[in-house]
Chain A
Amino acid sequence: MRAVRRISVFLAVVLLVGLGAGGGATQEKPRYGGVLTWFDYGDPGRLDVAGIWSGLLHWDPDDPAKITGDLAERWRASPDGKTYTFELRKGVKWHDGQPFSAADVKATFDRILNPEFKSPKCGASLKPMVASLEVLDRYTVRFRLKAPVVSFLGAIASAWCRVAAKHVLEKYGDLDRPEAQIGTGPFKFKRYERGNLIEWEKNRDYFVPGLPYLDGVKQYILVGAPTQLAAAKVGRVMLWDTWPPMRKTQVAELARARGNEIDTYQWPVNAIYAIYMNVHKPPFSNPDLRRAVNLAVDRQELVEKALEGAGVPCAILDPKLVGDFALPFEEVAKIAGCRQPKDQDIAEAKRLVEKHYPNGIDVEFAVRAVGNYLDRAQLLVGQLTRIGIRGTIKSYESAAGYAAFGKGDFTLIATQDRGMNSTDPGDVFHLVYTTEAGSNYARWSDPKVDDLAARALRESNRERRKQLYWELQRHILSDAPGAVAVGWVEGWFFRDKRVINYKPAKTAYDNNTFMKVSLRE
C-alpha cells in the first residue's frame, strides 16, 4: 500500500513538473524592455520596416495565417461582395500627436490608386480591384470594388498597404525621407545613419494597450555577407528573415558557432524567380525563340545549384503558400520544359532556334549584380548555349538595372526575383504576367492571360477559382511567355532564441512590426 502511495506521489510530481515545463515552453511570459537588433544588406528604399505604420488590417502576429483588425476595429462586406466598410479605431494618434481619422485612410489609398502614382506592390494588387473609396464619417470608410474580389482583404492586410498620415503626405509628398516617418504603429522612427543603422523606439502612445514589449529596434546596414555572418555568430544581430536569404553553408556555419542558441529554418520568401525576354525586341519578339528558352531552361538544375535546393522548380505558385491553387506537381512534372530528363525538350528548343538562326545567335543577358544573380546568370548561359543561344552577361548595379528593365532596355533578363504583395494566388499574375502587371518587364501581352487572371480575381467560388488558376499556370508553363518561371524561391534564415513570439509571415515584411515580440534576459 505504501509502495502504491509512493508511486502515486511520484507520478503526481512528474505530471505537475511536466505540465509546468510544458506550459512554460509554450506560454512564456513576455518581458518588457530590450532592443532587438537585425540587419539589412544595404540602405533600404523604405524606412518603415520595423512597424512605424499600421494597416487597416494586418496578418495576426500570433497567427500569421489569419487576418485581424489593425486600425480597423470592424469590417463588413456587402451581400454582393462589391463594397467593404471599415469602422476605424477611435483615439489613435499619429507619432506627432495629430489625431488619426478616415481622411488619412482616404488620402493613403487615393494616392496608391492614382494611375499616375507608381506603386508596384500595393497599387499593383489594388488597382485591378478597387473602383473608389469614400469617407462615410470621421471613423468609417467604404471601398467600392470593380467586381466582387475574394482576395481584397488579403491585399489590404499586406505590409505594403499601410496607412499614412494625410498631413504628412501633404507636407512631404512622399514617405521616403526620414522626417516623413510618422505613423501610428508600435515603433517610432528615431534616427537613420546612412550606411550604418536605422533605429526605432517604442511608441508609448500605441493604440494597443500594453504593447509593444521592446524598447526599440535597431537595424544595422551590413553590406557584406561575411560581416552579416560574423555579426550573427557573436549574437549582435538576432534574426534574418527576408530576401536575400542566407546560403545553406552560411546557416550551417552559424549553427555550428551558436549551437542551440539559435533556430535555423528553411522558409519561402514568397517570391518568384523569373527569366524575362523582351517581346518587343528581336530575337524574342519571335514566339518560337521564347518557346525555345521556355523548353530549354533546366529549372531543376537552377534551383539545385543557384538556390542550393531551396525552392520549388517550375512553380508559378508555391503549394506551401497557396495550397491547392498551385498546379499539382504530378502534372507540372509532365509539362514540356519542366519534365526530366531534358533531352527531348532541348532537341526541340534547338530545332526552333535553328529554324530562324541556323548558326545560332548572340544575346546579351542583363542581370542586376545583387545576391547570387551573377551565378544564376552564368548557369543560364551554360544552359542556353546548348540550343544555340550564346549569352554574354551584362551586369548592372541594382538601381541602374531596374532603370534599364523598367525602360525595356534589355533583350533578356537572366534572373529577377519578384516578391509578392500577399499570399493570394492571383498576386503573381498581376505582378508579372498580365499586360498591366507592375513588373511585366517583358511587355508580354496575352489576352488569354489577362482574361483568366481577371476572371479568377472576381470568382468567388473557390473550386472554380482554383480551376482558373490551374488553367493560367498550364498556359504560361507551356506557351511562349515573356517571363519563364524558374520556380518559387525559398531560403535559409535564423532567429536567436532570445527573441520570443516572433512568427515569420508568409510574405516578407508582413511580420516585421515586432508589436508582440519580446526578448529574454
Chain B
Amino acid sequence: MRHDYVMRRLLLFVPTLLGASLLIFILLRVVPGDIAEILVYQTGSESSAIQQKQVQQIRAELGLDKPVVLQYVDWMRDALAGDLGQSYVQRRPVAEILKERLPRSLELAVLTIVLAVVWAIPLGVVSAVRQNSWVDYLARMLSISGLSLPIFFTGVLILYCLVRFFRWLPPLEFVEFWRDPAENLKQLIWPALAQAWYISAPIARLTRSQMLEVIRQDYVRTARAKGLAERAVVYRHALRNSLLPVVTFVGWWGGRLLGGLVIVEIIFSVPGMGSALAQAVAQRDYPTVQAMVFVMALIFLSLNLLVDLAYGWLDPRIGYS
C-alpha cells in the first residue's frame, strides 16, 4: 500500500514540476530587460544602431528570438536529456554552478533546521509543561522576539555583537566542509543561527500549543495514573503525539529555506544558491534561474513526501490508502 502511495506521489511530481518551470519561464520573460540587453548595456553605454544590432545578434545566438513556447520546449527537451544549459552571465554550464552552490545551501539549511529544532522543541515543551510560570513567559518572549525581528536585523545584530564584544568575524573566504570542517562551521554557524532563531519561534509556539492540547488527553492522565515517571509521560506519550503538525511545519520550512537563505547568505558572505539565484534573477540569466527553481521545486516536493511518510512512523493509525 505504501509503495503504491509513494509511486502515486512521485507521478504527481511531474505536473507540479512542469507547472513550476513553465511559470518561472514565463515570469522571467515578462519582467522588463532581457539578458541580451543587459549584456550589451551593462557598462552603462548609450543605445545606438550598432548596439541594437548587437542585441539582436545575442538574442539570435541564445535562441531568444524564437517564440517563448518553442524556447520552453527546447529547454525542457535539453533538461530531460540532462543538459540544464549554459549560464549566459557566467559562461559555464548551469549544472556546474548548481554542483558548486547547492551543497553549500543544503548544508546551511540542514544546520539551520537542526539548530531550530534542537532549540525550539524543548523550549515549546518546557513552556507547555510549566504553563503560565516565569519559564513559560520567558520562552514565549524569546519565541515572539525571534518571530518579530526580521532576519536581516538578527543577522546584522549577530555580526555587530561578534565585532563589538569579541573583535572577531566569521571567515570571509568560504571553505567547503570536506576541505576544513572547523573553518566551514565557523562561517556557517552564524547565518544558521540567525535563520534558526527566526524559524524556531513558530516551531516553539506550535509545539507548546500542541503539547497543551495533548497533555490534557485521557491517555496522558492514564499514563500518569499508572505511575510513569513525568519525563516518560511528557517525552514518550505527549511529545510524540504533539509532533505531527510540527513535523509538517519543519518539512515545509525545510523546502522553503533553500530560496529563503538569500539574506543570511549575503550578510555572512556565504556563496550559496540563494545569493546566486538573486543575482541570476537580477541579470536575467534565464537558464540559471530556471534550473535553480526547478531543483528547488524538486527538493520541496521530495521533502513534502518524506514528511508525509514520516506521519506513519509518528502515528501508526495513519494509513496510505
**B209 CB–A CB distance under 8 Å:** no
Q: Which of A400-417 contact B (CB under 8 A)?
A: 400, 402-409, 416
**A32 CB–B CB distance under 8 Å:** no
**B143 CB–A CB distance under 8 Å:** no
**B54 CB–A CB distance under 8 Å:** yes
Q: When the two chains form their complex, are residues A236 and B37 in contact, meaning their CB atoms are under 8 A apart? A: no
Residue of A nearest to B281 (CB): A397
Which A residues lie within 8 Å of B34 (CB)? 403
**In whole Å, how far is A435's beta carbon from the nearest beta carbon of chain B?**
10
**B236 CB–A CB distance under 8 Å:** no
In the assembled complex, the Cα of A396 lies from the Cα of B37 at a distance in Å of 14
**A399 CB–B CB distance under 8 Å:** yes
Interface centre among B54, B156, B162 (most CB of A within 10 A): B156
Interface centre among B40, B163, B174, B284 (most CB of A within 10 A): B163
Which B residues lie within 8 Å of A222 (CB)? 172, 269
Which B residues lie within 8 Å of A400 (CB)? 31-33, 38, 282, 284
**B222 CB–A CB distance under 8 Å:** no
Stretch at the interface among B178-186, B210-218, B271-279: B271-279
Q: When the two chains form their complex, are residues A406 and B41 in contact, meaning their CB atoms are under 8 A apart? A: yes
**A194 CB–B CB distance under 8 Å:** yes
**A125 CB–B CB distance under 8 Å:** no
Chain B, residues 42-78, CB within 8 Å of chain A (1/0): the string is 1111110011001000000000000000000000000
Chain B, residues 216-260, CB within 8 Å of chain A (1/0): the string is 000000000000000000000000000000000000000000000
Interface of A is mostly: loop
In the assembled complex, the Cα of A42 lies from the Cα of B269 at a distance in Å of 11
Given A118-B54, A120-B44, A406-B51: A226 and B279 within 8 A (CB)? no
**B20 CB–A CB distance under 8 Å:** no
In the assembled complex, the Cα of A194 lies from the Cα of B276 at a distance in Å of 9
**B25 CB–A CB distance under 8 Å:** no
Given A222-B269, A400-B282, A407-B41: A441 and B46 within 8 A (CB)? yes
**A437 CB–B CB distance under 8 Å:** yes
Chain A, residues 98-141, CB within 8 Å of chain B (1/0): the string is 00000000000000000110111100000000000000000000
Give the contacting residue for B266; candidates A193, A223, A257, A397; CB below 8 A: A223
Q: When the two chains form their complex, are residues B284 and A234 in contact, meaning their CB atoms are under 8 A apart? A: no
Q: When the two chains form their complex, are residues B46 and A406 in contact, meaning their CB atoms are under 8 A apart? A: yes
**A195 CB–B CB distance under 8 Å:** yes
**B307 CB–A CB distance under 8 Å:** no
Q: When the two chains form their complex, are residues B41 and A220 in contact, meaning their CB atoms are under 8 A apart? A: no
Q: When the two chains form their complex, are residues A438 and B46 in contact, meaning their CB atoms are under 8 A apart? A: yes
**B159 CB–A CB distance under 8 Å:** yes
In the assembled complex, the Cα of A230 lies from the Cα of B170 at a distance in Å of 10
Interface centre among B38, B54, B156, B162 (most CB of A within 10 A): B38
Which A residues lie within 8 Å of B266 (CB)? 223-224, 227
Q: When the two chains form their complex, are residues B37 and A403 in contact, meaning their CB atoms are under 8 A apart? A: yes
Interface size class of B (residues with CB under 8 A): 35 or more
In the assembled complex, the Cα of A470 lies from the Cα of B37 at a distance in Å of 37
Interface centre among A115, A119, A402, A416 (most CB of B within 10 A): A402
**In whole Å, how far is A472's beta carbon from the nearest beta carbon of chain B?**
19
Which B residues lie within 8 Å of A286 (CB)? none
**A43 CB–B CB distance under 8 Å:** yes
Residue of B nearest to A409 (CB): B32
**B90 CB–A CB distance under 8 Å:** yes
**A169 CB–B CB distance under 8 Å:** no
Which B residues lie within 8 Å of A193 (CB)? 174, 271
Which B residues lie within 8 Å of A255 (CB)? none
**In whole Å, how far is B287's beta carbon from the nearest beta carbon of chain A?**
15
**In whole Å, how far is A190's beta carbon from the nearest beta carbon of chain B?**
13
Q: When the two chains form their complex, are residues B46 and A439 in contact, meaning their CB atoms are under 8 A apart? A: yes
In the assembled complex, the Cα of A438 lies from the Cα of B174 at a distance in Å of 38
**A281 CB–B CB distance under 8 Å:** no
**B283 CB–A CB distance under 8 Å:** yes
Q: When the two chains form their complex, are residues A220 and B174 in contact, meaning their CB atoms are under 8 A apart? A: no
Interface centre among A176, A227, A237 (most CB of B within 10 A): A227
Which A residues lie within 8 Å of B283 (CB)? 397, 399
Interface centre among B44, B160, B172 (most CB of A within 10 A): B44
Q: When the two chains form their complex, are residues B33 and A404 in contact, meaning their CB atoms are under 8 A apart? A: yes
**A392 CB–B CB distance under 8 Å:** no
Chain A, residues 154-186, CB within 8 Å of chain B (1/0): the string is 000000000000000000000011000000000
**A398 CB–B CB distance under 8 Å:** yes
In the assembled complex, the Cα of A441 lies from the Cα of B40 at a distance in Å of 14
**A513 CB–B CB distance under 8 Å:** no
In the assembled complex, the Cα of A397 lies from the Cα of B156 at a distance in Å of 23
**B267 CB–A CB distance under 8 Å:** yes
Chain A: residues with Cβ within 8 Å of the partner, total of: 51
Which A residues lie within 8 Å of B37 (CB)? 403, 406-407
**A71 CB–B CB distance under 8 Å:** no
**B99 CB–A CB distance under 8 Å:** no
Chain B, residues 86-118, CB within 8 Å of chain A (1/0): the string is 000011000000000000000000000000000
In the assembled complex, the Cα of A13 lies from the Cα of B159 at a distance in Å of 50
Give the contacting residue for A231; candidates B31, B54, B172; CB below 8 A: B172
Q: Which of B272-321 contact A (CB under 8 A)?
A: 275-276, 279, 281-284
In the assembled complex, the Cα of A78 lies from the Cα of B54 at a distance in Å of 38
Give the contacting residue for A406; candidates B45, B159, B160, B168; CB below 8 A: B45
Q: When the two chains form their complex, are residues B40 and A406 in contact, meaning their CB atoms are under 8 A apart? A: yes
Q: When the two chains form their complex, are residues A177 and B91 in contact, meaning their CB atoms are under 8 A apart? A: yes
Q: When the two chains form their complex, are residues A196 and B271 in contact, meaning their CB atoms are under 8 A apart? A: yes
**A221 CB–B CB distance under 8 Å:** yes
**B189 CB–A CB distance under 8 Å:** no
**A418 CB–B CB distance under 8 Å:** yes
**B198 CB–A CB distance under 8 Å:** no
Give the contacting residue for A226; candidates B50, B91, B159, B284; CB below 8 A: B159
Q: When the two chains form their complex, are residues A120 and B45 in contact, meaning their CB atoms are under 8 A apart? A: yes
Give the contacting residue for B47; candidates A398, A406, A416; CB below 8 A: A406
**B173 CB–A CB distance under 8 Å:** yes
**B8 CB–A CB distance under 8 Å:** no
Q: When the two chains form their complex, are residues B47 and A408 in contact, meaning their CB atoms are under 8 A apart? A: yes
Given A120-B43, A402-B44: A396 and B33 within 8 A (CB)? yes
Residue of A nearest to B91 (CB): A177
**In whole Å, how far is B195's beta carbon from the nearest beta carbon of chain A?**
15
In the assembled complex, the Cα of A441 lies from the Cα of B44 at a distance in Å of 9
**B268 CB–A CB distance under 8 Å:** yes
In the assembled complex, the Cα of A330 lies from the Cα of B283 at a distance in Å of 45
**A67 CB–B CB distance under 8 Å:** no
Residue of B nearest to A179 (CB): B91
Interface centre among B38, B269, B284 (most CB of A within 10 A): B269
Q: When the two chains form their complex, are residues A399 and B271 in contact, meaning their CB atoms are under 8 A apart? A: no
Residue of A nearest to B268 (CB): A227
Q: When the two chains form their complex, are residues B275 and A195 in contact, meaning their CB atoms are under 8 A apart? A: yes
Residue of B nearest to A403 (CB): B37
Given A399-B42, A399-B284, 14 new contacts (CB under 8 A): A45-B43, A116-B54, A195-B275, A197-B172, A220-B173, A224-B267, A233-B169, A400-B32, A405-B41, A405-B46, A406-B45, A437-B46, A438-B44, A439-B44
* CB<8 Å pairs between A and B, sample of 12: A45-B42, A118-B40, A120-B45, A194-B276, A197-B173, A226-B267, A227-B268, A399-B283, A403-B38, A405-B44, A406-B45, A407-B41
Chain B contact residues, CB within 8 Å of chain A: 31-34, 37-38, 40-47, 50-51, 54, 90-91, 156, 159-160, 162-163, 167-169, 172-174, 266-269, 271, 275-276, 279, 281-284
Give the top 5 A-B pairs by smallest Cβ distance, nearest first: A406-B41, A400-B33, A195-B271, A403-B37, A120-B45
Chain A contact residues, CB within 8 Å of chain B: 43, 45, 115-116, 118-121, 176-177, 193-197, 218, 220-224, 226-227, 230-231, 233-234, 236-237, 257, 396-400, 402-409, 416, 418, 437-441, 443
